[in-house]
A and B are shown apart, each in its own frame.
Chain A
Amino acid sequence: MSHCSPARLFALILSLLLLLPLAATADSDEDGETEALPFSRLSFPEPARHFSAEQKCVAPVEEMRKNHMNYILHQRDRTVHEGVRTRQYSLEECVNCHAVKSDEGEYVPVNAPDQFCYSCHSYAAVHIDCFQCHATKPVRASTLQSLSSGFVDHMHDRPGHEINRLLASEGPAQ
């Protein structure tokens, strides 16, 4: 160890110091007594919903979580300017499926604090303007309402199933 320079020694000590807290955490985790790291205490929002986790949305969940706004934005221009009124990616159908009823049997606005849209948007600190103008409760029967009856496998399309037929008849993303 005669060739060990002071710089190398310093680096070694520094890395040991840095690793120390991790080691301590690992040790105490085994005991199950220490407090969790600060950021792990955050809980993810769990929106009110009346559909199951397995139920199919108009696109896979991962896709919808990331890109739902793009579907709605694109559909909005096609609808307002060109009169394209397919329901698959319409905001109205979002509300039809994602609004839940209160204990009194009345629909709760989908943008109310603990509801589907707002719970996530408030967590992500993204303001939604949709509902200054758009309806927040289902008003008329949904053409895709068969979505919420019966549970559909998310990833495996079953040919002949009602929702697949509806989605197919609506064509590609608007």
Chain B
Amino acid sequence: MSASSNLADIARRNFLTRAGAATGAAAIAPGVLLSTPAGAKPADQAVSGEKRWGILVDTDKCADGCNDCVTACEKENGWGGADEAESNAEQKAQWIRTVNIRNKATGYAKTLPVMCQHCETPPCVDVCPTGASFRRADGIVLVDKHICIGCRYCMMACPYKARSFVHEDLHEQKPWAPRGKGTVESCTMCVHRVDENRIPACVEACSTGGHNALIFGDLYDENSGISKALKAQDSVEIRADLGLNTGVRYRGI
């Protein structure tokens, strides 16, 4: 739970990764790579640093004007409703948004979804004065709204503008996604679903819509779909220069 144990896990992970690279990659037979069923975590067991959840966004597969991931997130987590009637567009909750980018020199344009990038070393966690902003052992960055005082330092610190603040009294929240006035919130990578061995709502909607632009999985498991996809083709982090080692990576930008 504490930040120090997280860092220790990360350090150990890096050491093991390097050690593994030294001994060579022939340890696993080709046939073994195909088996990927990850058993569901028992409900009474704490998450561990043996996994790190991530999402790969293939922007080449993002359809023009498609908003499926955003609407799925709104529906799943209950934001974007009529409760925030007094807030302007910039103030309203926004866990995930589509961003249009355009190369000024060539005119080449792209649309991509941007949400919390679930950094390995999240700036939002660094600046939080109460410890409400934290990184879970399995890499998901969350806000503990019980101890969030709504100072919004994390919103200022986040390079991705991923967090929003709730300005108004809310009603009819989802039991699995509590949200309330005076607290900061952001993408939880659908942590309630992940804990039940399900995939995030945006990834599910993207796949249901037939786009398959989003791949969710365990970055530490080299047999997972996301690890294979990352290994097969290049991908980038947004603002890789910051060295945050994000859990969300992009292709085609």
> Interface on A for B, CB 8 Å cutoff?
76-78, 80-87, 92, 95, 132-135, 137, 139-140, 170-171, 174
B44 touches A171 (CB 8 A): yes
A80 touches B174 (CB 8 A): no
Residue of A nearest to B192 (CB): A85
B180 touches A80 (CB 8 A): no
A135 touches B136 (CB 8 A): no
Residue of A nearest to B140 (CB): A83
Q: Is the interface of A mostly helix, strand, loop or mixed?
A: loop
User: When A and B form their complex, which 3 residue pairs have the shortest distance between CB atoms, in order from nearest?
Assistant: A133-B180, A82-B46, A133-B178
**Contact A170/B44 with A81-B136, A82-B1, A134-B173 known, Cβ cut-off 8 Å:** yes
> Interface on B for A, CB 8 Å cutoff?
1, 41, 43-47, 134, 136-138, 142, 144-146, 169-170, 172-176, 178-181, 183, 191-192, 195-196
B36 to chain A, nearest CB (A): 21
For B169, what are the chain A residues with a Cβ–Cβ distance below 8 Å? Answer: 132
Interface hub of B1, B174, B175 (most chain A Cβ within 10 A): B175
**A123 CA / B199 CA spacing, docked (Å):** 44
For A139, what are the chain B residues with a Cβ–Cβ distance below 8 Å? Answer: 174-175
In-complex Cβ contact of A86 among B43, B136, B181 (8 A): B43
A60 to chain B, nearest CB (A): 22
B181 to chain A, nearest CB (A): 6
A133 touches B183 (CB 8 A): yes
**A108 CA / B23 CA spacing, docked (Å):** 62
For A133, what are the chain B residues with a Cβ–Cβ distance below 8 Å? Answer: 145, 170, 173, 178-180, 183
**A174 CA / B191 CA spacing, docked (Å):** 19
B175 touches A95 (CB 8 A): yes
A168 to chain B, nearest CB (A): 12
Other contacts beyond A81-B134, A132-B170, A132-B181: 8, CB < 8 A: A81-B1, A81-B136, A85-B43, A86-B43, A87-B43, A133-B183, A135-B172, A135-B178
**A2 CA / B18 CA spacing, docked (Å):** 104
B146 touches A135 (CB 8 A): no
A132 touches B195 (CB 8 A): no
**Contact A80/B142 with A85-B195, A135-B178 known, Cβ cut-off 8 Å:** yes
For B196, what are the chain A residues with a Cβ–Cβ distance below 8 Å? Answer: 85
For B41, what are the chain A residues with a Cβ–Cβ distance below 8 Å? Answer: 83
**A135 CA / B138 CA spacing, docked (Å):** 26
For B145, what are the chain A residues with a Cβ–Cβ distance below 8 Å? Answer: 133
Residue of B nearest to A81 (CB): B1
**A85 CA / B183 CA spacing, docked (Å):** 22
A83 touches B47 (CB 8 A): yes
B158 to chain A, nearest CB (A): 20
For B195, what are the chain A residues with a Cβ–Cβ distance below 8 Å? Answer: 83, 85
**A33 CA / B134 CA spacing, docked (Å):** 66
For B1, what are the chain A residues with a Cβ–Cβ distance below 8 Å? Answer: 77, 81-82
A83 touches B180 (CB 8 A): no
Residue of B nearest to A76 (CB): B146
Residue of A nearest to B131 (CB): A81
**Contact A83/B175 with A76-B146, A132-B169, A133-B183 known, Cβ cut-off 8 Å:** no
